[in-house]
Structure 1
Amino acid sequence: MRPIPLSALQHHAFCPRQCALIHNEQAWADNFLTAQGNALHERVDNGEPEIRKGIRFERNVHVCAEKWGLTGILDMVEHDLHSGSLKPVEYKRGKPKPTPIDEIQLCAQALCLEEMTGKTITEGALWYGQTRHRVCVAFSDSLKAQTTEIITQVQQLLNSQHTPPPQYGKHCKACSLVEICQPKLFNQDRSPHYTAQLFGED
């Protein structure tokens, strides 16, 4: 089983087709939003480790979890030198989303840290560039269940080497792969219906 990049979980939660295009077909394109995100992560990742008020801030932390088949790089891990607790911190370009996409990615980071360190990770944080606000995330049983379900779905998708058809919606406007995906054009394609009629399958 090939390791799943942590980023694939968020791609899948956003759109399974986007996930398959990126991780199975190696398709990628930047837009204004992804360029802003890349610039933010470069600033965060290039920072040196530091200690402030008993907290050590480790940046650009490489992790893997054999149990979950995950691998990736965390923006930051806060290590409380007094209690020994660890907290993953993920930086996002925009603002909090109505769906738990970001929380799922952060929880998967915690699963990696737990496997690597043997410590229980109870919470993490998301920092949003648009609002310049930090949101604390508790890793509840329900969030962990959502996360492990997404991990299973992504494993199945990537192992199948199948790219799902597009489901056009509002989210497509924010996708950097919209020109590669062509969701509107695909929805107008009547060839599958024609083929089914031709062979008496309709």
Structure 2
Amino acid sequence: MYAEDEMLSLSGLQHLAYCERQWALIHLEQLWAESFDTVHGELFHERAHLEGYSVSGGVRSERGYRLVSHRLGIVGVADIVEFSGGSAAGAEGSAGSVRPVEYKVGKPKVEDWDRVQLCAQAMCLEEMLGRVVGQGDLFYGATRRRERVDIGDDLRQRVSALALRMHELFELGKTPAAITGSKCKRCSLVDVCLPEAFGRDVRSYWKEAGF
């Protein structure tokens, strides 16, 4: 169980699943680079992050729902948490289903990065509310549709391992070396990270770059 001053950002789990170096640049070195995708994503999330709620068809949707897990040592905010069939939304031990809904500006991915973030939200809700959260939804702006995600054992173990690794890296306080791959081209921090510079002679690298 982690103390309050040991908590790390839940969203960092997605960054870590994508790339340990990306996580460190953002969460250790406090570096960030805006791109069209990041700005688009912030605008896309704007309404979902406004705290409040709405009720439709017997489902209460809480926006900007604050999350914490002392077991994983993470804090964050869920875009939307839906409560249905219960007597009181958020009441510990109450009946009914609970489902986190995470908004993503792009399209569904083969990789588990988005599912990791959603599962972490579900695990926070379970710890906070004392209720089983077996499913969550990813809403993608590109398709305007939801993807239902089962919060199974494999995904839970993946989240637990990433949370432990995130705390280990935070304690070390050292940014890992870059591991280059195709995902580097999609990273908004590629110009800050300079992954192609690792393992090469500095003089020849800058010469090839035109300097």
TM over 0.5: yes
For 2:201 and 2:177, locate their aligned partners in 1 and report how far apart those are by CA, in whole Å: 11
Helix, strand or coil at the partner of 1:188: coil
Match of 2:91 in 1: none
How far did 1:150 drift?
A: 1.2
- Asked whether 1:127 is paired with 2:139, we answer yes
**Equivalent of 1:58, from 57, 62, 86?**
62
For 2:171 and 2:73, locate their aligned partners in 1 and report how far apart those are by CA, in whole Å: 12
- Asked whether 1:161 is paired with 2:173, we answer yes
Helix, strand or coil at the partner of 1:44: coil
Match of 2:29 in 1: 25
- Asked whether 1:12 is paired with 2:24, we answer no
Q: Which amino acid aligns with 1:65?
A: S
**Equivalent of 2:71, from 67, 74, 80?**
67
For 2:198 and 2:60, locate their aligned partners in 1 and report how far apart those are by CA, in whole Å: 50
- Asked whether 1:98 is paired with 2:105, we answer no
TM-score by structure 2 length? 0.86
**Equivalent of 1:137, from 149, 160, 164?**
149
Farther off after superposition, 64-73 or 47-56: 47-56
Identity %: 42
Report the CA distance shift for 1:130/1:47 in structure 2 as closer, same or farther (over 3 A): farther
For 1:84 and 1:50, locate their aligned partners in 2 and report how far apart those are by CA, in whole Å: 17
- Asked whether 1:79 is paired with 2:83, we answer yes
Match of 1:46 in 2: 50
Helix, strand or coil at the partner of 1:97: coil
For 2:115 and 2:165, locate their aligned partners in 1 and report how far apart those are by CA, in whole Å: 17
Deviations 1:40-82 (Å, cap 9, x if unpaired)?
Answer: 1113223741110110000001111111101001100000034
Deviations 1:87-115 (Å, cap 9, x if unpaired)?
Answer: 00000011111111111110100111111
Helix, strand or coil at the partner of 1:21: helix
For 1:135 and 1:84, locate their aligned partners in 2 and report how far apart those are by CA, in whole Å: 21
Q: Which amino acid aligns with 2:84?
A: D
**Equivalent of 2:161, from 149, 155, 160?**
149
- Asked whether 1:114 is paired with 2:126, we answer yes
Runs of 5+ unmatched residues, structure 2: 87-94, 204-211
How far did 1:190 drift?
A: 6.2
Report the CA distance shift for 1:138/1:25 in structure 2 as closer, same or farther (over 3 A): same
How far did 1:186 drift?
A: 2.5
- 8 Å Cα contact 1:56/1:81 also seen in 2: no
Indicate the RMSD between aligned Cα atoms, in angstroms: 1.6
For 1:114 and 1:142, locate their aligned partners in 2 and report how far apart those are by CA, in whole Å: 17
Q: Judging by fraction of residues, say which structure has more helix.
A: 1
Deviations 1:97-148 (Å, cap 9, x if unpaired)?
Answer: 1111111110100111111111111110000011111000011111111111
- 8 Å Cα contact 2:51/2:65 also seen in 1: no
